[in-house]
Amino acid sequence: MAPAAPKSGDAIFASVDRVNAELFTLTYGAIVRQLLTDLEEVEEVNKQLDQMGYNMGVRLVDEFLAKSNVTRCVDFRETTEVIAKVGFKMFLGVTASVTNWDSEGTTCSLILEDNPLVDFVELPDNCQGLHYCNILSGVVRGALEMVSMKTEVAWLRDMLRGDDVFELQVKLLKQVPEEYPYKDDE
Amino acid sequence: MIGVGKIKQYSNVLDRPISKGKQEVSLSAFAFLFSELVQYNQTQVDNIGELERRLEDAGYAVGARVLELLCHREKGNRRETRLLGILSFIHSTVWKVLFGKVADSLEKGTEHEDEYMISEKELLVNRFISIPKDMGAFNCGAFVAGIVRGVLYNAGFPAVVTAHFVPVDGQQRPRTTILIKFAEEVLQREARLG
DSSP A93-108: S---EEE---TTS-EE
Give the 3-state secondary structure of residue B45: coil
pLDDT of residue B3: 38
Lowest mean pLDDT of A162-171, B53-62, B74-83, name the range.
Answer: B74-83
Q: Are strands A18-20 and B24-26 parallel, antiparallel or unpaired?
A: antiparallel
Confidence of residue B48 (pLDDT cuts 50, 70, 90): confident
Above 70 in pLDDT, residue B6? no
Above 50 in pLDDT, residue B1? no
Which helix (H) or strand (E) is B165 found in, with range? strand B159-166
Q: What domains are defined for chain B?
A: 27-193 (3.30.1380.20)
Distance CA B173, CA B162 (A): 19
Which among A13, A48, A164 is the nearest to B26, CB-wise?
A13
Which among B6, B32, B98 is the nearest to A20, CB-wise?
B98
> A23 to chain B: which residues are within 8 Å by CB?
30, 62, 98-99
Arithmetic mean of pLDDT, A144-154: 88
pLDDT of residue A3: 47
> B27 to chain A: which residues are within 8 Å by CB?
16-19
**Pure H helices in chain A:** 9-15, 21-39, 42-68, 76-82, 88-92, 134-146
Say yes or no for a CB contact (<8 Å) between B59 and A28.
no
Task: State how far residue A100 is from chain B, nearest Cα, in angstroms.
Answer: 19
Closest Cα in chain B to A59 = B32
* Region class of B122: left (phi > 0), else alpha (psi between -120 and 50), else beta: beta
Task: State how far residue A101 is from chain B, nearest Cα, in angstroms.
Answer: 22
> B39 to chain A: which residues are within 8 Å by CB?
55
Which helix (H) or strand (E) is B162 found in, with range? strand B159-166
> B37 to chain A: which residues are within 8 Å by CB?
27, 30-31, 34
Provide ipTM, 2 decimals: 0.88
Above 90 in pLDDT, residue B164? no
Q: Tens digit of pLDDT for each residue in A58-84?
A: 999 888 888 888 888 778 888 888 888
pLDDT of residue B57: 92
State the CATH architecture for A42-175: 2-Layer Sandwich (3.30)
Q: How far is CA A60 from the centre of its chain?
A: 10
Q: What percent of chain A has pLDDT over 70?
A: 94
> Which of A13, A17, A54, A135 to mutate: most B Cβ within 10 Å?
A17
